[in-house]
Amino acid sequence: MERKELLYEGKAKQVWSTADPDLVIQYFKDDATAFNAQKRGTIASKGVLNNAISERLFLLLADAGVRTHFVARPSEREMVVRKLAIFPIEVVVRNVVAGSLAQRLGRDEGEKLPAPVVELYYKNDALGDPMINDSHAIVFGLATRADLDTIVSTSLRVNESLKAFFAARNLMLVDFKLEYGRAADGAILLGDEICPDTCRLWDVSTGERLDKDRFRRDLGRVEEAYQEVYRRVVR
């Protein structure tokens, strides 16, 4: 399938139109950003690895009954997906205290939560993607009550599937970000990507971070971490 017009370029991907109005191509880049793009860099072969990892996880979720935008992976950097009207909401599911949750509540990183915590963030780079609640989303027209119910319940199902999958590969799913959109037929589908850019993954045995925190925190061995997740997830 051929790329036609560049529709959107974000921090990690480009989105291109195709001859089919219901399908687009996500092109995965090696660019890396953190702290709302205040920190920028490149992670060698990140796009190739994230594309393959995302395909594997989308197929896993499809087998679990979760509807996603994934259609095919025609090349190492391209993914054909259903075109979605993306909700301007990021959903973060947390199983372990880390990152901003530790900072906001003064908790120690690594504290396991007795139940998953679901957080909503307004997708707006200029505002720093602020946290919102259900009422904000509904009152400001970002989503309806029914939309949010679907999004949150689906996110919790995704969490259960991914936790088990990663645990079998000696990886702890600390937290992760999801995005959703509405397809042409009105269905709400899981979109974007699922990879070390969007998930915090720690080695169960050593606690080593195998995700974008290595880039955010200048921990080194960033490419090796992504390659290790690829090895455990895809191969």
Phi, psi angle pair for 104, to nearest 5°: -70, -40
- Reported as a single tens digit per residue, the pLDDT across 54-64 is 999 999 999 99
Phi, psi angle pair for 35, to nearest 5°: 55, 50
- Reported as a single tens digit per residue, the pLDDT across 63-119 is 999 999 999 999 999 999 999 999 999 999 999 999 999 999 999 999 999 999 999
Domains and CATH numbers, the chain: 6-82 (3.30.200.20), 85-220 (3.30.470.20)
> For the purposes of burial, counting CB atoms within 10 Å of the CB of 176, is it exposed (0-12), middle (13-18) or buried (19 or more)?
buried
Is pLDDT of 235 > 90?
Answer: no
Instruction: Determine the Cα–Cα distance for residues 175 and 165; give it in Å rounded to an integer.
Output: 14
Is pLDDT of 145 > 70?
Answer: yes
Phi, psi angle pair for 220, to nearest 5°: 80, 175
Determine the pLDDT at residue 201: 98
Determine the pLDDT at residue 218: 94
Quote the mean pLDDT of the chain: 96
- Reported as a single tens digit per residue, the pLDDT across 24-51 is 999 999 998 887 667 789 999 999 999 9
Determine the pLDDT at residue 37: 65
| Contact between residue 193 and residue 50 where contact means Cβ atoms under 8 Å apart | yes
Is pLDDT of 161 > 90?
Answer: yes
Rounded percentage of the chain residues whose pLDDT exceeds 70? 99
Q: Six-digit token pair at 15?
A: 């989105």
